[in-house]
Structure 1
Amino acid sequence: MAEHASPPMTPRARMQVLLAAAACLLPLLLQLPAWLGPAFGIGALAVAAASWRRPMPALLRLLLSACALLAVAVVAPGIGRDTACAVLAAMLALKPAETFSLRDGRSLVGFGLFAPFATFLLDQGPASLALALLAVLLALLALQQLAADEGEVAQPAGRGAAAFGVLRLFALGLPLALAAFWLFPRLPSPLWGLPHRSVATPGLSDTMTPGSMGELLLDDSPAARVQFFGATPAPQQMYWRGPVLWDFDGRSWRQARDLQRFPVAPMQPAGAGWDYRIDIEPTEDRQLVALDLPTLLPDGAYASRDYTPWAETAQYNVSRWRMHSAPPAAFETELPPPLRARALALPRGYNPRTVALGRQWRREAGSDAQGRSDAALIGRALAMIRRDFAYTLEVPLAGRNEVDDFLFDRREGYCEHFSSAFVVLMRAAGIPARVVTGYAGAYRNPIGDYWLVRKSDAHAWAEVWLPARGWVRVDPTAAVAPERVYDTIADRQPGRIAGLDALVPMFNAGDWMRRGWNDFVLGFNAQRQQSLLKPLGLDRLGAGALVALFAAIAALALVWMAWLIARGERQRDPLLRAWHALEARYRRLGRGRATHEPALAWATRVAADSPRAGQHLATLAARFNQARYAPAGNRAALQALLRDLRVHRP
């Protein structure tokens, strides 16, 4: 038998389906890289408008699909989460071009629901969740309208009633969803690896080429949030240590990853230090940041020999770490010969003027075992930078001899240029040196009393090795622009950058709410789940106890859902409600209807004991069966039956 063609959608149903598809697509578009989001959004509107009355030609659809895939390949080459999500967004944007029947509408809504859930692969923030919930609500309303148009269910009267019905479905499933979130056993790590993005998000890197950090310095999005317990360091002490760069090829610096598994170098702290908790935004890498220098790291984290902090696994979500740090009084005072040679290495044929200047300064300063000449050379370099150089973000691309260009010709740049040139000059003068990258400074949010480290706080500084002291931090950028490093002036506050002071409290409140979201939702991991019932005296819940508790609460939630559904069905039908009320009156006298007993059979049984009451009940039962199972559509007859059912007494 040939399959019946699906009837076409009504204009109202089509509008609801397109609205639901747009709501599903929106959160995903907001997370796509570069200009793909706006382009696909405009394309989706154009396709929906062009195909409102008639299907778009197949050849044109094929051409648009090819253009969309080409745009994805250009912006997000390779295979990654963002690539897959971009392809999904492109196909969903083009889907309305072939959506006309009721079956097509269901297909579009079902396909569209993949988009908000795919969004969580790129962002798990509260805004993405709110948009996803709105998309699901509109999708259910569209499916309800499609079912009503096909005659499968009765459409509630009015849009308010329809929305209330969908919200009721949300409420029914909420207890089960909460039970699954809080109690379903979580693994400490995923069963499979999550693929990286094709387009890397701005952040700290294991390489540094002078000029490469410009985009990061303009990004005010959060990198970390820090809560101190006890003493708080001064802003000029807030250097957040990230990758330490040893190897230089003439243009770029690279991290020495072969030092990761070596024991940390000996360090003597200069004081009690600081105890703090740091929440680090996702990096999709194992690289962490810590206040300089980290002396205590929690389980799951470690420090390499140069005190670079690392996580055991890649960080795809917000991670929380309790750490302790202290400034060094002495830091690796005995430098092994292989590391000394590495910290003095310079490639041949690069930056000849800088190398010649460093060697000239060394000849003029001489050398001594106490390192006084080294300290004098460092002071001479800082004095030159302070006197002759300026800070700016507008710099040309690095050339072959970038350090020479910066020191002798341009004399303008930002932290990457200053730190790179300073370290090369120190190495040329015979002083072991290396580049350290991370963040400098932070902004204190008075709401919640925590410190916000932004990506725009990214910074690069130098460490030089001096006899008896070991590695010493030197920040040549601070010699030129200390206010850019330490965030101590008011115009570095969020909102005041544009001169809008009124935005500062709004930013503080918004970031505090996002911190709470990270804490209570994204930060709810396996360890916190196992200690969920600690306030009740249960220190640790094993996997078996969690499964049992989840099963019990899930069963209760399912029973509650079934009861509410059954109760709702009774309450929605006034005829059924009146009939059940009549049954209840007979049940109180011991003559209630059995659950398996038809209405007429029950009336016959009642008539055997009380012929007069049974005869009247039999008449009502017959009228009830007729109205419920073979309705004639006579509203007056239905109202008369409802009145008689309500007034009848046994």
Structure 2
Amino acid sequence: MAEPRRRSLALDPQARAWTQTAAAACLLPLLLQLPGPLAAGLAVVAAVVSALSWRRRLPGALRLVLSVALIALVLAQSRFGFGRDTGCALLAAMLALKPMELSTLRDGRSLLGFALFAPFATFLLDQGPLSLLLGLAGALAALAAMLRLAELESGEAMPVRPRERLRRVGAMAAIGLPLALAAFWLFPRMATPLWGVPERAIARTGLSDTMRPGEWVDMMADDTPALRVTFDGPTPPTSEMYWRGPVLWDYDGREWTASRWFSALPAAAVEHGDVRYSYQVEVEPTDRRLLVALELPIDTPEGTHRTYDHTLSTRRPLTSVTRWRMTSGAPATFDAELRPLLRSAALRLPDGFNPRTLALAQQWRAEAGEGARADAAIVDRALSWVRAEFAYTLTTPLLGRHAVDEFLFDHQEGFCEHYSSAFVVLMRASGIPARVVTGYVGGYRNPIGSYWIVRRSDAHAWAEVWLPGRGWVRVDPTAAVAPERIYDTIADGATRGPAGLQALAPMLGVGDWMRRGWNDLVLGFDADRQQRILRAFGGRDLGGGQLALLFALVAGLALAGMLWLVARGERERDPVLRAWHRLGGRYRRLGLERRPHETATAWAARVVEVRPQAAALTSLTARFSLWRYAPGHEGEARALLRDLRAHRP
């Protein structure tokens, strides 16, 4: 009859501590990529579960309730949408609960194997240097914990010290580093990926093809970079840095949206001025296809599409850092001949909304008359009104059905969304074609690296009106009431703020410069960069087959080096056995080595017979045999190790 399967060993406190610490280290980088409240809740759950289950497993019913509750919390946080962020959050939730099953050696290995998925899942959400460092630390901690579990299973009398355990894990990682570098630098890069990255359930903050006045507050409080710009020659003044994004035509009384059918029309004719700006834009991931450019782009970068209103969009979602080479120039005329169908779209207003605004617009039109000068006079009159009576604030009340009426006649306070929306409605009601343009404005010049940072908080909305002879003309009503919202930079705010903020500004510049370098050297290493580097060594481009052969050759050499280092460093891990083998080596030099068939006791007797002065070897051998084979003598390891090292023939 088969012997019953032996139960797995119970974890001792040290092995449990190593396992839970490693799991927490793997979970940390993933938590940093989740929404703040959810990440804090999962961290608290993980700490409480680990503390409660330290001595014994939690009851099955309680484990089930916690699992269901946490899954429901994650799904509610993601609004029951499924994407890679939801999947990563569910992984983090399950890892936070996994310690409640930790009891035996098998449980420890299961927890560590599951925890290693967390650092890799982090890279689905962020590929920054901090995520890499924390993920690497978590993986090394998991390997060190696995080494401690192996020591527990082997029953070593003298467990390895924590410092030595970490040193061994670091040495293993260093041995594998050449192969990792070969894979990064030489593995054939695809010009386009074989598969796409799953979409997020909750979109990142950023521009979209819709705008509802009052909903940009979260984005305008987000100081993370949206794009970094490097100019090759002249740099426009900050007041002219309008980064054009989606153009919104359709208005339903509450929300502005981009017209889908404009994407099929060719780009409108533009006559650019004499000044041109050449620059490179580094765009942070948005998971959308929208691309911004300095007004107005002259060319269409490869991989993008330009619509009638000069909105740029990419063929694939921007799921990673991308770079785009562009040339822009201010327009002298922009679609000077507006077709009737487009004029109709730029004058359309929904029925039954904002009667006071419509009445005011009709009054202004009657007083101004008709013609190009009349249109320009109405625009100037509206700007003068804004300049005289309106205020800029991010604290705005929730507007009702007649949102434009309430803003223009009751509150007269708001931010760029309110101003651009109300201005365009007022212009359309006056018979002037108008539309809303969204994007970013301004920027901060980082003196470290000499490039410009445009942050998500620089998001802005302005208006374009169509005037005879000039075509579409930019009008920014927000600038009329709050110029500092447009022209000031983060650096200006720092000089006016507390001394601590002034001291922090250079540090922020250094940090962003380092992140830009990471984007350039690591995240931006694509097929073109790979070929340029190889061309510097070989003088010509390598085809896919040649590149694969080169990678196989270098990887083979790296593997051979790894095997040599492992074989060279392979030795007895137990310090007592290592001292015993060294002792045998000393007698080998005298021609008294132990024969393969001899036991330790028989060998010692033969040595003493030849060299009576080595009588101490007999007692030392007996002590070694007891330590090695007899139970209950594990505690003698330290004294035995000292005497083995001290013994000389």
Q: TM-score, normalised by structure 2?
A: 0.89
1:599 CA drift (Å): 9.5
2:290 aligned counterpart, secondary structure:
coil
> For the residues of structure 2 that align with 1:632 and 1:281, how far apart are their CA atoms?
62
Q: Which residue identity is paired with 2:49?
A: V
**Alpha-carbon distance change, 454 to 637 in structure 1, aligned in 2, over 3 angstroms:** closer
- Counting matched residue pairs gives 611
Question: Does structure 1 conserve the Cα–Cα contact (< 8 Å) formed by 2:285 and 2:319?
Answer: yes
**Alpha-carbon distance change, 58 to 632 in structure 1, aligned in 2, over 3 angstroms:** closer
Name 2:153's counterpart in structure 1. 150
Q: Which residue identity is paired with 1:230?
A: G
Q: Which residue identity is paired with 2:50?
A: A
Name 2:12's counterpart in structure 1. 10
1:207 CA drift (Å): 0.4
> For the residues of structure 2 that align with 1:493 and 1:542, how far apart are their CA atoms?
51
Among 27, 39, 54, the alignment partner of 1:52 is 54
Name 1:280's counterpart in structure 2. 283
- 1:138-157 per-position Cα deviation (integer Å, ceiling 9, x unaligned): 11111010000000779764
**Alpha-carbon distance change, 145 to 571 in structure 1, aligned in 2, over 3 angstroms:** closer
Name 2:603's counterpart in structure 1. none
Question: Does structure 2 conserve the Cα–Cα contact (< 8 Å) formed by 1:147 and 1:153?
Answer: no
1:375 CA drift (Å): 0.8
1:97-496 matches, within 5 Å, as 97-151=100-154, 157-368=160-371, 371-488=372-489, 490-493=491-494, 496=497
**Alpha-carbon distance change, 547 to 631 in structure 1, aligned in 2, over 3 angstroms:** farther
1:192 aligned counterpart, secondary structure:
coil
**Alpha-carbon distance change, 133 to 189 in structure 1, aligned in 2, over 3 angstroms:** same
1:87 aligns with 2:123: no
1:260 aligned counterpart, secondary structure:
helix
1:460 aligned counterpart, secondary structure:
strand
Question: Does structure 2 conserve the Cα–Cα contact (< 8 Å) formed by 1:208 and 1:254?
Answer: yes
Deviates more, 1:84-93 or 1:413-422: 84-93
1:261 CA drift (Å): 3.6
Question: Does structure 1 conserve the Cα–Cα contact (< 8 Å) formed by 2:151 and 2:159?
Answer: no
Among 40, 48, 62, the alignment partner of 1:38 is 40
Q: Which residue identity is paired with 1:119?
A: T
Name 1:500's counterpart in structure 2. 501
Question: Does structure 1 conserve the Cα–Cα contact (< 8 Å) formed by 2:287 and 2:318?
Answer: yes
- 1:77-132 per-position Cα deviation (integer Å, ceiling 9, x unaligned): 22111111111111111111110101000001111111111111111111111111
1:190 CA drift (Å): 2.6
2:175 aligned counterpart, secondary structure:
helix
- 1:390-436 per-position Cα deviation (integer Å, ceiling 9, x unaligned): 00000122321111110111100000000000001111111111000
Q: Which residue identity is paired with 1:406?
A: F
Name 2:24's counterpart in structure 1. 22
> For the residues of structure 2 that align with 1:188 and 1:172, how far apart are their CA atoms?
31
**Alpha-carbon distance change, 578 to 7 in structure 1, aligned in 2, over 3 angstroms:** closer
Name 1:595's counterpart in structure 2. none
- 1:210-251 per-position Cα deviation (integer Å, ceiling 9, x unaligned): 101111111111100111111001000100011100111111
1:636 CA drift (Å): 8.3
> For the residues of structure 1 that align with 2:490 and 2:565, how far apart are their CA atoms?
59
1:530 CA drift (Å): 2.7
Q: Which residue identity is paired with 1:118?
A: A
> For the residues of structure 1 that align with 2:490 and 2:627, how far apart are their CA atoms?
80
1:500 aligned counterpart, secondary structure:
helix
> For the residues of structure 1 that align with 2:627 and 2:56, how far apart are their CA atoms?
40
**Alpha-carbon distance change, 6 to 488 in structure 1, aligned in 2, over 3 angstroms:** closer
**Alpha-carbon distance change, 414 to 50 in structure 1, aligned in 2, over 3 angstroms:** same
Deviates more, 1:314-323 or 1:144-153: 144-153
1:188 CA drift (Å): 2.5
1:273 CA drift (Å): 1.2
**Alpha-carbon distance change, 280 to 164 in structure 1, aligned in 2, over 3 angstroms:** same
Question: Does structure 2 conserve the Cα–Cα contact (< 8 Å) formed by 1:495 and 1:507?
Answer: no
Question: Does structure 2 conserve the Cα–Cα contact (< 8 Å) formed by 1:89 and 1:115?
Answer: yes
1:447 aligned counterpart, secondary structure:
coil
1:338 CA drift (Å): 1.0
1:455 CA drift (Å): 0.5
Q: Which residue identity is paired with 1:502?
A: A
Question: Does structure 2 conserve the Cα–Cα contact (< 8 Å) formed by 1:141 and 1:166?
Answer: yes
1:312 CA drift (Å): 1.3
> For the residues of structure 1 that align with 2:112 and 2:52, how far apart are their CA atoms?
19
Deviates more, 1:495-504 or 1:48-57: 495-504
**Alpha-carbon distance change, 528 to 110 in structure 1, aligned in 2, over 3 angstroms:** same
> For the residues of structure 2 that align with 1:636 and 1:474, how far apart are their CA atoms?
86
1:600 CA drift (Å): 6.3
